[in-house]
Amino acid sequence: MIPRTELGSDFSGNGLMVSWLSAKTIARHTFLASLTAQSTLSSEAPLQNSYALGGFLNLSGYAENELAGQHTGVARLVYYYRLASTGLGEFHMPLYAGFSLEAGNAWATRSDISGRTLIYAGSLLVGAETYLGPIYLAYGQAEGGHHSLYLYLGHKF
C-alpha cells in the first residue's frame, strides 16, 4: 500500500518492489528459486511505512513481520520431494517433504545494505495436497537462535 496525503495520510511516498520466482519439477523433485526486494524511494518515510519480513520462507525462524525496514530483500532456494500418495480409492493425497535455504534482511537506510549484514535462515517442511488445498507443517530456524513452527492450509509459496 502506498501512502497518499490525498487519501488522508500524513505522508506521501513511493516504493518499489521487485519479485522473481522460478520453479522446475523433474520426476518427483521440485526446485524453486526466488528473490524479493522492496525499497522506499523517499528517505523520509515514517516507521509505519516500513516493509516487513519474517515468517515461513521470509527468513524462517523469525515470527511473521518481526523484522522491518525501509529496504528489504530475501533470496530463497526451496526443494521438495514427492514421497507418495495416501488415501483410499479415488481420494489420493500426494505427500511431500523438503527444505528451504534463505538469506536476506531489513535495513533502515540504503547505506546499511551489505552482504555482511545478511541473515541466514532455513526450514524443514512436510505437506500434502488435500481437497481443501495444500496443508503443510514447517519448522524454521534463523541465525541468532530464532526458531518457529508453522502450520499452513492454503498456498504460501
Closest CA to 77 of 115, 120, 37, 117: 120
Give the CA dihedral 38, 55, 20, 121, nearest 10 degrees: 100
Mean pLDDT to the nearest integer, 75-82: 97
Q: Kindly list the domain boundaries of the chain, sorted by start residue.
A: 5-153
pLDDT in tens, 82-111: 998 766 666 678 899 999 999 999 998 888
72 CB-side CA count, 13 A: 20
Mean pLDDT to the nearest integer, 103-132: 93
pLDDT at 18 over 80: yes
C-alpha cell of residue 68: 522491518
Indicate the average pLDDT of the chain.
Answer: 87
Task: Please tell me which residue, 111 or 154, carries the higher pLDDT value.
Answer: 111
Q: Give the model's confidence band at 47: pLDDT under 50 very low, under 70 low, under 90 confident, else very high.
A: low
- The length of the chain in residues reads 157
Task: Please tell me which residue, 101 or 14, carries the higher pLDDT value.
Answer: 101
Angle, CA 39 vertex, CA 117 and CA 116 arms, to 5°: 10
CA distance 33 to 144: 24
Minimum mean pLDDT range among 12-16, 109-113, 144-148? 12-16
Query: What number of H helices and E strands is found in the chain?
Result: 0, 9
Burial class from Cβ neighbours inside 10 Å (0-12, 13-18, 19+) for residue 82 reads middle
Closest CA to 74 of 44, 42, 32: 32
- Topology (CATH level 3) of domain 5-153: Porin (2.40.160)
